[in-house]
Amino acid sequence: MSFNVHKWNKQRYLAEAGLQESISQKAAIAIDKILDKVDPPGITPEDLGKAIAIIVKNGYQTELQKRFIDVLHFELGMKPLNEAEISDMDDDSLLSTYENKLKTHDWYYYMSDDSRKYNSGELEAKTLNDIKTELGKRGLADKAKELFIKYEKTR
């Protein structure tokens, strides 16, 4: 195996520009390549979840497992924001977060027989209410109401 100057320079330039792939991106690419080789192609969400759970259980202590779950929830947009995080956001970020959460909210969670879906919906509804309250404190109640009416699906 010979040294590839072109590849080395490319990596150096990307690193200097802050465009180099992160470890997370490299891991995702590697996992995708493995999943493409599974027969039949693809993998069920259940099998992927179980596989990742095995990796996390075998490779991390309990505290790191909790951090993993927090990051996973955050990246999937499932992590509820606490009051401190909400109050630390600037107006534009808070409005954007509120709108994104309204778009993805399960408006019919309360009708679910699945307690996990119900509890998740309750938590998300509480987060939406906390954000709406904070927007009201900042004089943005009208904008919050306008967004709520735009995305609410229970009327």
Distance in angstroms (rounded) separating the CA atoms of residues 79 and 68:
12
| 127: its two tokens | 């987060």
Average pLDDT rounded to a whole number, residues 32-53: 77
Q: What is the pLDDT of residues 85-119, one digit of tens each?
A: 788 888 888 898 899 889 888 899 889 888 778 87
Q: Where are the domains positioned within the chain?
A: 10-75, 83-151
3-state secondary structure of 125: helix
Asked whether residue 13 carries a pLDDT value surpassing 80, the answer given is no
pLDDT higher at 51 or 133: 133
Of the candidate ranges 34-38, 49-53, 127-131, the one whose mean pLDDT is the lowest = 34-38
Q: What is the predicted pLDDT for the residue at 77?
A: 64
